Chains A and B, each alone.
Chain A
Amino acid sequence: MTPFAQLLERLVFSPARSAKIALLRDWIATRPDPERGFGLAAISGELAFSAAKPALIRALVAERTDPVLFGWSYDYVGDLAETVSLIWPAPASPPGPAPTLPEVVDALGKVARTEFPALLARWLDSLDASARFALIKLITGGVRVGVSARLVKVALADHYRIDVNAIEEAWPAVTPPYLALFAWLEGRGPRPLSADRPVFRPPMLANPLGDGDLATLDPTDYRAEWKWDGIRVQACASPGGVALFSRAGEDITAAFPDVAEALRGLHAVLDGELLIVRDGRVAPFSELQQRLNRKSVLVRLLREFPAMIRLYDILFEGAEDVRSLPFDERRARLEAWVARVSPLRMDLSPLVPFQTWDELAGLRAAAREAGIEGLMLKHRASPYVPGRPKGPWFKWKRDPFVIDAVLMYAQRGHGKRSSYYSDYTFGVWTEEGELVPVGKAYFGFTDAELVWLDRWIRNHTIARFGPVREVEKTLVLEIAFDAAQRSSRHRSGVALRFPRVNRIRTDKPAAEADRLTQVLALVENRRDAA
């Protein structure tokens, strides 16, 4: 367990994706089968156990520790698994050999329920503190280290210098500890294939439309469609099963059983936007968030936040891969498929007809519906290519809202920014003349502006709370954001979407920054127009 525990420990404390990949690659390169496969499965959530409830762990530790000392320790540490792993006393007699990860996985699969407590105690006796922690997390189903299945695949692709999409396609055919996968990657075996299990295909992404780009593009070559404010998903339906993947390849099927049910019996791979839609109206993104990141869903949530997919594209019709067809042909296929199949919880994202760029700009400016983030422009002949190729697709977001807010608090960033105060909480004025925080921005500024802000913050600090500094309320920041929504979680009653620092307004006195009523009005406007 110790190598696995050390990997977990490093992953937990390494926020950078590149560092996580390096650690995974080292694991892949240095650990033997089947340990490496089980380890990858455990950290990416593909291998989960629920062999032990916290009550069992508590009972075992209570037999071995003073209750008063345990109570104080738990208060101090704050996490049961960690407290138990640290306080677990050395056994009176020498413990047996420490179990390896494969031994643990194997035993969990066959141990009788009544024998499990004694086995667990023996394991805990034989391991050191960090391995005990890893073991407890593993058997209680809670190994969370910020590593997705997708990241594991990326690390494998990096390590074996192979296209990550090839790994994606082989993935459904293998199960932990992935012996057949490693055999293929290391040239010792055939490529694992599974024809009818749902497979994630990396989606095609768009580049932001830059200044002057339109002048170089012929409007007759492009199709326009609304960019909906939900999450981009790939819906896979095949005789072997259905799956819903996020843009990054996360399997989110479990959180959306209503949509999954609608996919059952179909046979296609579709690209679309997952939305909450009530009475034909797209709900704000914050409502979709209620449904995200759940392993199971309450019936009440399904009823209150009904989800559906607004379809953009089709990748596979039946078993036929149509990705190489031009956009116009895929669009015709998609429209015909929808008309023929009439799928539940799905509709077509309409094309937006236009003749000239000026006309389209007018449509974009006039769109007031909350669910619209902007426009997509797609070349009529573009094949569906994974990644973000330059040229065929553009996103043309709606102009952001802009407010002038006052900097209130600053916090140190992470990773490369850990020496900079780079997270900014900003506020606006209430009618009573009080500043109330309305959001937090941590991007939008240039490197030079970051250096300037960092220095300003250090020189204008009035209080410090750990990594946070409270500053003099004198600096005005122009904040851009995409939408404002009512929120009961924020003291101001409003939550901003994608807030970012647009400009530093050293020219503007703080007293002239915006008022809360002005920000609230932006929420109201949207609602009235929608």
Chain B
Amino acid sequence: MPPNPETWLLVRPEGLYCEPADLFIDPARAVPRALITHAHADHARPGHGAVLATPETLALMTRRLGEGRAGLSQQPLAYGESLDINGVRVTLYPAGHVLGSAQILLEWRGSRVVVTGDYCPRPQPTCAAFTPVACDLLITEATFGLPVFRHPPAEGEIARLLRSLAVFPDRTHVVGAYALGKAQRLIALLRVAGYDAPIFLHGALFPLIEVYRAFGQTFGDLRPATAADKAALKGALVIAPPAAIQDRWARRLHDPVVALASGWMRVRQRAKSRGVELPLVISDHADWDELNATADATQATEVWVTHGREEALIHALASRGILGRALSLIGRGEEDEGGGPETEAVEVTA
């Protein structure tokens, strides 16, 4: 009889703790030993002792947090490789969320637990594709855990953006997109759709683009928006962090059409309250159908929900005989889409 997961996976103030391996998964504060699913700031905090993650995540964390702040020691673990830590076997699988994002499979005394981190089951060009991993307990996110969130195909959203460029050929189209993951995905989708003009970027986006490039991604002609003059931006596409698209930084743009790429744009009130003229429903998270399908595909008999709208997902799982539990981990969803548009990030002046 495998041990009950509650006896070896504990929720502590720092976050989710695997006791036999003596490590925290995506802890909210600095800990001696951390296993990190991906490099978004709400999952990858600074100041840990030892950090175990994919090589891509380690590179992105180091670039974001600075040399020495992304773990005093770093240990890379590639997708599909396993590591034994005090009898706990740790294996990482692609989560499809951003470059390097991983699901974590923990095996201990015959019990299999998968921690998804943030994940996106739809294949996308900028990171390895998600696959469901069979387990007894699934520990999942539920950022878009309501049945109103069903993301349309991203290609259709890109087509709407390109159509808008045709209807408003003189206006700069500025798209708000998070610096890690969304921005790169957006560029890749645009290139796939045949948009080969230069794309202008807010300065804050370049450091992470470089990391993506170092791992073999190509993005075509990218230029700093800051260096371009207003006339050059006429009819051009600019990508910037969401906090910048309507702030002082955006004054350099030519009569901009303000767009925002986020799963939250599905709800009109969200788009309206942000003053967005062109909402693009492009998400790096599982939507409602995918959250449910993934839970079913793993054949887990029990599902814990780390953050998001857990009550609806737990209700839906219960109707299929799957036991659900809300962990309500704190500090999640502060950076990427999880925070939603209400979270006004620090003004970016770069």
Contact = CB atoms under 8 A, between A and B. Distances in A.
Contact of A464 (B269, B312, B344): B344
Given A87-B148, A466-B342, A14 B316 contact: no
A254 B174 CA distance: 42
B150 interface: yes
A73 B316 CA distance: 13
A22 B168 CA distance: 7
Interface string B300-344: 000000000101100110010000000000000000000000101
A129 B150 contact: yes
Q: Which 5 residue pairs spanning A and B have beta carbons closest together? A: A86-B148, A418-B246, A73-B148, A26-B167, A87-B147
Given A26-B167, A65-B147, A419-B251, A414 B269 contact: no
Interface in B176-194: none
Interface in A401-449: 412, 414, 416, 418-419
Interface in B132-174: 146-150, 152, 160, 164, 167-168
Contacts of B147: 65, 69-70, 73, 86-87, 89
Nearest to B344: A464
7 contacts: A14-B277, A79-B268, A86-B149, A86-B267, A412-B246, A419-B249, A466-B342
Nearest to A29: B167
Nearest to A2: B156
A68 B152 contact: no
Interface stretch (A5-13, A213-221, A387-395): A5-13
B251 A86 contact: no
A13 B277 contact: yes
Interface of B: 146-150, 152, 160, 164, 167-168, 246-251, 255, 257-258, 266-269, 271-273, 275-279, 309, 311-312, 315-316, 319, 342, 344
B51 to A, nearest CB: 34
A105 to B, nearest CB: 24
A13 B247 contact: no
A6 B309 CA distance: 29
Interface in A49-70: 65-66, 68-70
Contacts of A22: 167-168
Contact of A69 (B249, B255, B275, B316): B316
Contacts of A195: none
A66 B316 contact: yes
Contacts of A96: none
A520 interface: no
Contacts of A253: none
A70 B147 CA distance: 8
A227 B250 CA distance: 42
A23 B311 contact: no
